[in-house]
Amino acid sequence: MRYLIWLLRIAVFIVLLGFAIKNDQPVTLRYFLGYEWNASLVVVLLCFFAAGAVIGILAMLGPVLRLRRQLSVAQRDVKSKNRIAHVDETSELPIQPS
């Protein structure tokens, strides 16, 4: 399985390398107020892909932190209820019929 994953990684690398080699034409990005940026098409695509990934991570950061905070509150609540019920953390409770 490990060799299959490495073969897949090598194949993806070769495909992306071929894409980069074929798309090395210079492009010009024009901004407001007369600003321009001249770079290779692959560099521009890589920069915008990285910016999109960073924006996606930042967009998910709020909900993830909120869920982690809710999880810690729930775990603290369970520990306090177990302490009140005198249940040890290592002991297993029997399954109760519902």
pTM over 0.75: no
Q: What percent of the chain has pLDDT over 90?
A: 45
What residue spans define the domains of the chain? 43-83
- Strand, helix or coil at 96? coil
Tell me the two tokens of residue 37. 């940026």
| pLDDT attached to residue 24 | 83
Q: Using CA atoms, how far apart are residues 28 and 47, in angstroms rounded to an integer?
A: 14
> Can you name the residues that pair with 79 across neighbouring β-strands?
none
Q: Using CA atoms, how far apart are residues 46 and 31, in angstroms rounded to an integer?
A: 18
The per-residue pLDDT for range 63-98, each reduced to its tens digit, is 999 999 999 998 888 888 878 877 666 666 555 655
- Residue 89 near residue 75, CB atoms below 8 Å: no
